[in-house]
Amino acid sequence: MKIPNKIQKVVDDQELYIISTASNEGMPNTVYVKFLKVYNDNKVLIADNKFFKTKKNLEENPKLAFVVLDKETKKAYQLKGRVEIHKEGQIFEDAKKWVEDETNSRLSPKSAVILNVEEIYSGVDKINEE
């Protein structure tokens, strides 16, 4: 699903992100992350700098959701879908460069998580692609 431009901007304007995963048994896990950004029109890149339960959950159950708040309109958007975990290749190298540039090489990701956005909601309303 294409992430509408207005929602891409809302994602890019956040400082911290709350992401949620669940184990195979359905036990939820929610964490804050700093390194999350729109990668292209239908993918979001998340750097795995310190994942533990999140990583285990994604290996068992490759689904993830996160929420952002539009500071101007006070509308919240939830993006969700399936993930791919990259430990090498272009996507991993992009994440590594991004994190290292932002932290002056203090952090280096263990992997890059790509969320393939399948659904976007604002409240109970499903957002259709533009």
What's 85's domain CATH number? 2.30.110.10
The pLDDT of residue 129 is: 64
Residues near 50 by Cβ (< 8 Å), separated by ≥ 6?
Answer: none
By residue range, what is the domain housing residue 39? Answer: 5-122
Domain for residue 114, yes or no? Answer: yes
The pLDDT of residue 128 is: 86
Number of domains into which the chain is organized: 1
Low-confidence ranges of the chain (pLDDT < 70): 129-130
Domain for residue 76, yes or no? Answer: yes
d(CA 78, CA 86): 23
Q: What angle do CA 14, 48, 40 make, to 5 degrees?
A: 55
Length of the chain: 130
Q: pTM of the predicted model, to two decimals?
A: 0.95
Domain for residue 22, yes or no? Answer: yes
d(CA 3, CA 38): 9
Domain for residue 98, yes or no? Answer: yes
Query: In the numeric block, which tokens belong to residue 87?
Result: 């430990």
Residues near 107 by Cβ (< 8 Å), separated by ≥ 6?
Answer: 49, 99, 100
Domain for residue 128, yes or no? Answer: no
The pLDDT of residue 89 is: 98
